[in-house]
Amino acid sequence: MAELDKNQLNQLVYEIVTQGMIVANVHGVITRSNNSACRMFLYPEGGLIGINVDELLPEGLRKIHQQHRADFAKKPEKREMGNGYELSAQKADGTEFPVEVSLNHTTVDGELCVVALITDISRRKEAENKILEVNRQLEEGVKQRTQELNEAVRALEESQHLYTLIAQNFPDGTINVLDRKLNYIFAEGKEFVRSGIDRGKVIGLNYISLLPIDFREKVESELSRVFEGLPRTFEIVSRGNTYIMSAVPLYDEDEGVNRILLVEKNITEQKRAEQDMINALKKERELNELKSRFVSMASHEFRTPLATVLSSINLVNRHAENGNMESVNKHVGRIKNSIRNLTSILNDFLSLEKLEAGKVEYRPEEFKLCDLVNSVVEDIEAMCKPGQHIELTCGTHTDVTLDPQLVRNILFNLLSNAVKYSAECKQIHLTVDGSDDIITIKVKDAGIGIPEDEQKHLFERFFRAKNATNIQGTGLGLNIVAKHVELMGGTIDFASRLNEGTTFTITLPRNNPASE
């Protein structure tokens, strides 16, 4: 794989992020921005460079933002997404829109640089407003329905016929009148028709006895309080439907409260719509949290190799002037290793982005698996630590019909991990064998192992075990491996003991001309 220079790496980092990303100096002048930021603020490509970040705010907020920048410069600190701030931004055409901003900072050549990841949350705000509107409408609906019920009670006293007509056409629910023993006196509503119940046959029956056993006690308790003159509203769920129950007392001049009016309203669709919106908001919050973790992790993982490259370049120049070629070669090697690490990180990011976007397709072809395995081993051995060696055993029946690129990615990730997490002079074993139907690949190392209480998280995105925090990595490799294995219709398993090593076992169909 061709090595990328520093400028290409920087450009890939900026453009892989789908949110707006800008870098500003201590004076607030934008020095870098990605295309997503330009599109978000309706600027042409590169049009944000050189302008002050204050110009991206509504005019009424710019003065106070200048003070905020000054305070931040005195005491810079990281700020993640979803911290409760209500922020507004302004596009080039003057349009204002809500945003969330994640801030991080670093020092370059002694000067403070601030990195901002900007997310347009207009759609989320619209969804939140819709939920508020639905709740308002529901509350108004309850009030309106209560008013309608009171009118229906008065109408019942004036004309039983009119009351019956109203009740018969009550949508998605029922209107019922119960006596003090909670027996039906009156029952109407379209919900009876939908449920296939003959409402004429329920008159005289006990309302509670017809309910599912699970909530008979609750409903009876609520309705008993209505006879004390207390209107009640509560919900029950029956056979997958949600009902809101509203009960009010009916007064008799001589006997007081001797009946109650009970209205059942089927609100299943409203509940489902509300839950869908809540789930959408939850998913968006999770995505924003993931993006914040990505920015934090990327900032950390890129800083170390880039610092190594910069320091080694300076030392190379110094040693070259003195003719010390041994030191020059040493630092050139450090630069190459750092570039290789950066390339690996970027490849993980690009692979994850393609997988999330559904752009990775299964493209099977016939090939000799042992030839591909030998090629990967040769590449990996160049990365081995002193004394490390990969012991390869490749059996028979290894002519396969699979996706060679996906297989290569799987092997490269597992073997490079084995090298990275194993000490010097530790051997790595790679075994490839096959039968008529399946191919089995095993990668065994004698490395640091995975703590037992953390093994359940091994294939999650950005997961790093607590004993691996000092070893460079993105926490994406095994997540990508698992998804590639799944694309080819295979399975992946592992066994690991702390400080003894880990063995990964992958099983693939030997001939899979189409994805499962």
DSSP 145-209: HHHHHHHHHHHHHH-HHHHHHHHHT-TTEEEEEEETT-BEEEEE-HHHHHHT--GGGTTTSBTGG
Express each pLDDT in 95-105 by its tens digit.
999 988 888 88
User: Are 103 and 295 contacting, i.e. CB atoms less than 8 angstroms apart?
Assistant: no
The C-alpha angle 476, 355, 376, rounded to 5 degrees, equals 60
**Residue-level pLDDT at 473:** 61
Average pLDDT for 434-452: 91
The better pLDDT of the pair 3, 377 is held by 377
**Residue-level pLDDT at 438:** 92
Q: Which residues of 282-308 are buried (b: 16+ CB within 10 A; e: fewer)?
A: eeeeeebeebbebbbbbeebbeebbeb
The three-state secondary structure class of 421 is: coil
Average pLDDT for 340-351: 59
Query: Exposed, middle or buried by CB within 10 Å (0-12, 13-18, 19+), for 130?
Result: middle
User: Are 308 and 339 contacting, i.e. CB atoms less than 8 angstroms apart?
Assistant: no
* Domains recognised in the chain with CATH numbers: 6-120+276-356 (3.30.450.20), 126-266 (3.30.450.20), 365-509 (3.30.565.10)
Average pLDDT for 504-508: 94
Model pTM score: 0.41
Express each pLDDT in 225-239 by its tens digit.
988 888 888 888 877
Query: For residue 138, what are the CA distances in angstroms to 243, 264, 291, 295, 484?
Result: 13, 15, 35, 40, 47
Tokens found for residue 96? 């204002």
**Residue-level pLDDT at 298:** 56
CB atoms near residue 139 (< 10 Å):
10
Residue 172 reports pLDDT greater than 90:
no
3-state helix vs strand vs coil in the chain, percent to 5? 50, 25, 25
Q: Give the pLDDT band (50/70/90) at residue 150.
A: confident
The better pLDDT of the pair 157, 262 is held by 262
The three-state secondary structure class of 93 is: coil
Express each pLDDT in 362-420 by its tens digit.
889 999 999 999 988 887 887 788 899 999 999 877 889 998 888 988 888 898 888 88
The mean pLDDT of the chain is 80
Sheet (strand 20-25) strand order: 30-33, 20-25, 111-120, 96-108, 87-90
**Residue-level pLDDT at 89:** 92
User: Are 410 and 483 contacting, i.e. CB atoms less than 8 angstroms apart?
Assistant: no
In the 8-state DSSP scheme, what is residue 445? -
The three-state secondary structure class of 75 is: coil
For helices 369-381 and 404-420, the axis angle rounded to 10 degrees is 30
